[in-house]
Amino acid sequence: MSAQDLTNDQIKAKQSKFNQKFKQQRLPAWQPILTADTVLPAFFLIGLLFVPLGAALLFFSRSVQEMQLDYTDCKSVSHMEAGVSVPCSEVIRRSNFTLDCTCQVNFTITEPFVKTVYLYYGLDNFYQNHRRYVKSRDDNQLLGKEITSPSNDCNPFGMNDGKIYAPCGAIANSMFNDSLTLFDAGKDEKLKLIKTGIAWPSDRKIKFNNPPGKLNDTGAFKNTIKPPYWTKSVWQLSDNPDNNGYKNEDLIVWMRSAAFPTFRKLYGKIDHSMKGFKFSFPKGRYYLEVQYRYPVDSFGGRKRMILSTTSFLGGKNNFLGIAYITVGCICLLLGIIFLIIHIKFGRRAVDQLNINQNTPYSD
């Protein structure tokens, strides 16, 4: 059909279809004009807001009490050579990681921790943020769904001899498995740890669930085997049936991969119902007993035990407060510099808007 064959109504309809404000770019728009009168107050406002906010964040972060104890090189209490204790890292390496090694490290708390105390383990130089490592898991398996074969992302820790690794993938296979126990050295009493409530509620309720059936190798986890580096099967991680299998909170905490190579993860909470610990973690002499299983020598890593309180912002982290103070100071400094330049060389915005072809030129 040619243009001559179109009726006037059809032509008008066609024109109206394209004659719209959006298609013809006639929508109203606002473009800010950056002048000294608008930019300088923004610099000063950001500076005056960020500096006190950063100071408050830094104050709350430094109010957190914390004690770190590196136990990477702790020595065995039972393995001796020429009358000298052998480091546990050497014991497990020589046994090809088939033996457990027990070691003890003494420490002293000089000031009581006045809030709820949390026990963390920390690792250095461990890159949980590697792209292939982060993907190496099967979320359907962790949701408790019945699968006949794991995701390809789990390879090479997906299957072996026709059986599925439970759980599969590199993240689960490298799960931290040292056992940390605290003792009061003065009384030689074991301190109680609470091992539930340490994972995110959203992870516990939504992302992790056990398959239907009894938690054993003939029920929920039939036709599965433990990951190569594990010493126990997934249904044997805890004596508490509500904290076992894929719902084990140590597993859930580990499966949330860290963003940086130096990180800490929550291991447990001090049970403050113990006598003498109701309102604080008292000062005194303590020792840490470690069932040393987790090797870090191969990647040049270190292992730490961390006792810490928290603030309403979380654990101890000075970075956010320092960042706010730094940005606020830079904005204040730039604001002062630009203000001096504007006073000495600048013109008022009204004068600039009123410039026309008859305005005389001046230096």
Which of 318, 333, 320, 331 has its CA nearest to residue 49?
A: 331
User: pLDDT at position 38, please?
Assistant: 85
- Indicate the pairing of strand 84-87 with strand 263-270: unpaired
CA distance 292 to 74: 9
User: pLDDT at position 3, please?
Assistant: 52
The SS3 call for residue 49 is helix
User: pLDDT at position 257, please?
Assistant: 94
Residue 73 has pLDDT above 80, yes or no: yes
Task: Label residue 344 by pLDDT band (50, 70, 90).
Answer: confident
| pLDDT tens-place string over residues 230-252 | 989 999 999 888 899 999 999 99
Q: Which burial class, exposed, middle or buried, applies to 331 when counting CB atoms under 10 A from its CB (0-12, 13-18, 19+)?
A: buried
Phi-psi region of 91 (alpha: psi -120 to 50; beta: other; left: phi over 0): alpha
User: pLDDT at position 356, please?
Assistant: 64
Beta strands in 71-203 (DSSP E): 75-81, 84-87, 101-109, 118-124, 159-160, 163-165, 179-184, 189-190, 193-194
Average pLDDT of 61-80? 91
User: pLDDT at position 108, please?
Assistant: 95
- Residue 195 one-letter amino acid: K
| pLDDT tens-place string over residues 104-155 | 999 999 999 988 999 999 999 999 999 999 999 999 999 999 888 999 999 9
User: pLDDT at position 13, please?
Assistant: 67
Residue 19 has pLDDT above 80, yes or no: no
Beta carbons of 243 and 182 less than 8 angstroms apart: no
Residue 315 has pLDDT above 90, yes or no: no
CA distance 210 to 221: 9
Residue 82 has pLDDT above 80, yes or no: no
Residue 20 has pLDDT above 60, yes or no: yes
User: pLDDT at position 5, please?
Assistant: 59
Q: In whole numbers, what is the pLDDT of the chain averaged over residues? A: 89
Residue 9 token pair: 């109504």
| pLDDT tens-place string over residues 178-215 | 999 999 998 889 999 999 999 999 999 999 999 999 99
CA distance 271 to 278: 8
Q: Which burial class, exposed, middle or buried, applies to 220 when counting CB atoms under 10 A from its CB (0-12, 13-18, 19+)?
A: buried
Rounded alpha-carbon distances, angstroms, from residue 129 to 71, 139, 167, 200: 24, 17, 19, 19
User: pLDDT at position 362, please?
Assistant: 56
Helix, strand, coil tally for the chain in percent (to 5)? 35, 20, 45
CA distance 14 to 323: 57
User: pLDDT at position 42, please?
Assistant: 93
CA angle 58, 197, 59 (to 5 degrees): 10
In percent, the amount of the chain with pLDDT more than 70 equals: 91
Following DSSP, what letter does each residue of 217-245 receive, concatenated?
TTTTTTTEE--TT-SS-GGGS-S-GGG-G
Phi-psi region of 292 (alpha: psi -120 to 50; beta: other; left: phi over 0): beta
User: pLDDT at position 80, please?
Assistant: 82
| pLDDT tens-place string over residues 257-297 | 999 999 999 999 999 999 889 888 999 999 999 999 999 99
Residue 268 token pair: 């447990």
Residue 254 has pLDDT above 70, yes or no: yes
